[in-house]
């Protein structure tokens, strides 16, 4: 059943994404892949997980937008309107809506279903590891933020300020993501990716202090 709808999902998300460099179509494809794998490992309902993964960023707002925390709710509403237009089975709408609402870190909504937990985990995995580092740098460059504070690059003695410095975002959010994972398989992958990011910071520190 899903196979017949996926071309429509792909066309819609490519047409509708209001994207920054880190929230592009390739990001969506990676989240769908993560979600599909987690869905199989955890025994979740694909008819909920995969549409939510495909459509989770059908409306996205920049990191510094004043309505950023509401973006996932707006995306969920837009996704259900689209699913209605293509006559996707209506019995899944509520669960898909909830999963999309929950995916956003800034929205801070606790997922109450396995499917919503999987979509959230799948999206957050894409903020970790090598791809997470690259996406962080993309967004910070777009916002014209310097890489680090010259006097204390790694927040050893000052308050974290990721609205000013790129590296601060690792300490404000990225290194904490692994502790928010729900599924065991996602936790294992998040630990591996977080370790890679920690290694990047250690290497960067050795180069800065060389």
**pLDDT single digits (tens) 159-195:** 999 999 999 999 999 999 999 999 999 999 999 999 9
Spell out the long-range contacts of 3-7 with Cβ–Cβ below 8 A and sequence spacing 24 or more.
5/51, 5/86, 5/88, 6/50, 6/54
Domain ranges of the chain: 1-111, 127-210
What pLDDT does residue 19 have? Answer: 67
Predicted pLDDT at 170: 97
pLDDT at 58: 87
DSSP 181: -
Q: What is the pLDDT of residue 123?
A: 96
Q: Which two tokens stand for residue 108?
A: 């801070």
162 touches 155 (CB < 8 A): no
Domain spanning 127-210: CATH 1.10.3210.50: yes
Task: Judge whether residue 67 has pLDDT over 90.
Answer: no
Task: Tell me the C-alpha distance between 23 and 20, whole Å.
Answer: 5
Q: Which residue has the higher pLDDT, 30 or 58?
A: 30
Q: Other C-beta atoms within 10 Å of 194: how many? A: 20
Pick the CATH number of 1-111 from 1.10.10, 1.20.120, 1.10.472, 2.60.40: 1.10.472
- Mean pLDDT for the chain overall: 92
List the structure tokens of 180: 């928010």
Q: Say which range, 14-23, 79-88, 116-125, has the weakest mean pLDDT.
A: 14-23
| Residue range 50-58: mean pLDDT, rounded | 94
Nearest to 137 by CA among 22, 10, 54: 22
The answer to whether 1-111 and 127-210 have equal CATH topology is: no
pLDDT per residue over 72-113, tens digit each?
A: 888 899 999 999 999 999 999 999 999 999 988 777 788 999
Q: Which residues make Cβ contacts (< 8 Å) with residue 94, sequence separation at least 6?
A: none
pLDDT at 62 over 80: no
């Amino acid at each position: 059943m899903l196979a017949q709808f996926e071309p429509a999902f792909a066309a819609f998300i490519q047409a509708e994404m209001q994207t920054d460099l880190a929230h592009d179509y390739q990001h969506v494809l990676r989240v769908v892949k993560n979600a599909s794998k987690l869905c199989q490992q955890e025994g979740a309902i694909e008819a909920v997980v995969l549409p939510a993964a495909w459509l989770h960023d059908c409306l996205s707002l920049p990191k510094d937008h004043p309505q950023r925390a509401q973006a996932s709710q707006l995306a969920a509403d837009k996704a259900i309107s689209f699913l209605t237009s293509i006559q996707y089975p209506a019995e899944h709408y509520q669960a898909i809506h909830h999963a999309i609402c929950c995916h956003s870190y800034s929205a801070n909504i606790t997922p109450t279903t396995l499917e919503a937990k999987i979509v959230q985990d799948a999206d957050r995995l894409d903020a970790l590891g090598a791809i997470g580092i690259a996406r962080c740098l993309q967004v910070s460059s777009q916002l014209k933020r310097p890489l680090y504070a010259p006097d204390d690059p790694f927040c050893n003695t000052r308050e974290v300020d990721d609205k000013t410095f790129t590296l601060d975002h690792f300490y404000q959010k990225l290194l904490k993501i692994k502790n928010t994972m729900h599924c065991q398989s996602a936790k294992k992958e998040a630990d591996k990716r977080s370790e890679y990011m920690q290694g990047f910071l250690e290497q960067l520190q050795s180069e800065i202090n060389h």
